[in-house]
Structure 1
Amino acid sequence: MFGFHYRLERKSIGLVLMIVAVASVGGLFEIAPLFTIHQTVEAAPNMRVYTPLELAGRNIYIREGCYACHSQMIRTLRDEVERYGHYSLAVESKYDHPMLWGSKRTGPDLARLGGKYSDEWHVVHLNNPRDVVPESVMPAYAWLSRNELRVDDLSGHLKAQRAVGVPYTDDMIANAPTDAYGQAAPDSTAAEGVSSRYGKETNIRAFDGKPNQLTEMDALVAYLQILGRLTDVAGKPVAAAGE
């Protein structure tokens, strides 16, 4: 084997041809599944996109490096399914750019965190994790409650997401800053626009408990509360989910 390799190294043309051949085989295994992706990705007709506030929260989640300790991929192993819920489906990450499946898990998996805890629990946990989980090694993120959320660039974020396949409409893009405010201010007139554009089941409330102030805490909690709830396809029977 090594003798063949040594001889091949002395013949530049032969070495190049072998490199191309090996690379082609690897490329074939990577590219071929893409031609059958419609058969492997589940159908989710009720799948909704992230609201501007949730998308802003996702950006903060990435900015603070939360993905480094928390995966968002429940594997098909029995112990994971019993602990976290139904294993993750490909379609559930359909609108995730970038996807945050992860390969390391210092803290628990967050793929189905949405609705598991109250907004108040999340706020307390982010302000000081030890207040709710004494053995936690997670750092505190108390400044999120003090930082005003930037919304003037949200239309650009939605437009960028649309460029990679997320079906945001012109109306959603144009109203992104207003919708971000409206989702965290349930008593405002802007809240109505959020439910009309993203659905009546959209979480609309003061996530950090302060309806008159839009903070980064609002955005991050809004994102955490929608994890695993963009579609209910995972809760349906296998036959129905594939229809």
Structure 2
Amino acid sequence: MADTFHRKIERSAIGFVLAIIAAASVGGIVEIAPLFTIDETVEQAPDMRMYTPLELAGRNIYVREGCYACHSQMIRTLRDEVERYGPFSLAVESQYDRPMLWGSKRTGPDLARVGGKYSDFWHVAHLNNPRDVTPESNMPAYRWLGRTSLEMDDLPMHLAAQQALGVPYSDDMIENAARDAYGQATPDTDFAAGVTERYGEETQVSAFDGVTTHVTEMDALVAYLQVLGRLTGAAYENTAAPEAKPEPEG
């Protein structure tokens, strides 16, 4: 009987098209239906902040260099992952990520909570030559980041694009994007105060690459790595998970 049914469907163009649409609709419904309850499923995080212009520039470099191909940013709810990396990832932690970088491949460890685990100096040494800090690493070196000045003139447009996608950057943040990027990487200048004023006192202001005379792509990438998992403390609320052990990125 099944053979007869298949034979009829395959010989009827309209019937076959309808069957394809029905089958494809199942997958679509499974993906779309949860969106109707998204307000109930996404956690609340009153302390959540946006990326600073320097961190956003670092995220763009992270994407440009394909770091997401080897590092995920999504800690699953499995016990071994929580013990290794820290509290499992929450949806709210990615609400300002455009695009999201959850990933699924781990040639290197997950980076969802790498922020603050290592010093700026460690990150710079690791990016210059991963084998200097992790002898068994197969990660490529990114030495040129420290020699490449960060392009900051177009940062207002980057923030404006994020604003158009729903990230609540204010017009003041957009207008001061280039100045804030410079100020976050040069803590001894007058521009540094504007960063904490607009993004909060918890914002890390540092000479990330160890040089204060100019801002490089290394500054931006290290600033981004240092904020991963630290935009909100929501994942640590009511959590008794074991403290994750620091481990190399690649």
TM bucket (normalised to shorter chain) is: over 0.9
Whole-Å Cα distance in 2 between the matches of residues 25 and 147 of structure 1? 49
Q: Report 1:211-226 matches (<5 A).
A: 211-226=212-227
SS at 1:17 equivalent? helix
Whole-Å Cα distance in 1 between the matches of residues 208 and 144 of structure 2? 15
Shift of 1:19: 2.3
Do structure 1's residue 181 and structure 2's residue 182 form an aligned pair? yes
Do structure 1's residue 231 and structure 2's residue 232 form an aligned pair? yes
SS at 1:228 equivalent? coil
Q: Report 1:49-88 matches (<5 A).
A: 49-88=50-89
Aligned to 2:13: 12
Moved over 3 A (4+): none
SS at 1:225 equivalent? helix
Spell out, residue by residue over 1:92-126, the C-alpha distance to the aligned partner (whole angstroms, 9 max, x if none): 11111111111110011100000000000000000
Q: Report 1:114-193 matches (<5 A).
A: 114-193=115-194
State the one-letter code of the partner of 1:110: L
Q: Which stretch shifts more, 101-110 or 2-11?
A: 2-11
Whole-Å Cα distance in 2 between the matches of residues 26 and 68 of structure 1? 26
Spell out, residue by residue over 1:149-206, the C-alpha distance to the aligned partner (whole angstroms, 9 max, x if none): 0001111111111111111110011110110000001111111111111001100010
Shift of 1:2: 4.6
Q: Report 1:26-105 matches (<5 A).
A: 26-105=27-106
Shift of 1:30: 1.4
Spell out, residue by residue over 1:215-235, the C-alpha distance to the aligned partner (whole angstroms, 9 max, x if none): 000000000000000000001
Percent identity, aligned pairs only, is 72
Whole-Å Cα distance in 2 between the matches of residues 162 and 155 of structure 1? 10
Whole-Å Cα distance in 2 between the matches of residues 196 and 107 of structure 1? 35
SS at 1:212 equivalent? coil
Spell out, residue by residue over 1:71-100, the C-alpha distance to the aligned partner (whole angstroms, 9 max, x if none): 101111111110100011111111111111
Whole-Å Cα distance in 1 between the matches of residues 116 and 25 of structure 2? 46
RMSD of the TM alignment (CA)? 1.1
| Alpha-carbon distance change, 64 to 2 in structure 1, aligned in 2, over 3 angstroms | farther
State the one-letter code of the partner of 1:51: T
State the one-letter code of the partner of 1:120: F
State the one-letter code of the partner of 1:30: E
Whole-Å Cα distance in 1 between the matches of residues 54 and 82 of structure 2? 29
Spell out, residue by residue over 1:19-52, the C-alpha distance to the aligned partner (whole angstroms, 9 max, x if none): 2222333222111100011111111111000000
| Alpha-carbon distance change, 89 to 2 in structure 1, aligned in 2, over 3 angstroms | farther
Aligned to 1:241: none
Shift of 1:6: 2.7
Provide the TM-score with structure 2 as the length reference: 0.93
Whole-Å Cα distance in 1 between the matches of residues 118 and 48 of structure 2? 22
| Alpha-carbon distance change, 55 to 2 in structure 1, aligned in 2, over 3 angstroms | farther
Shift of 1:3: 4.0
Aligned to 1:106: 107
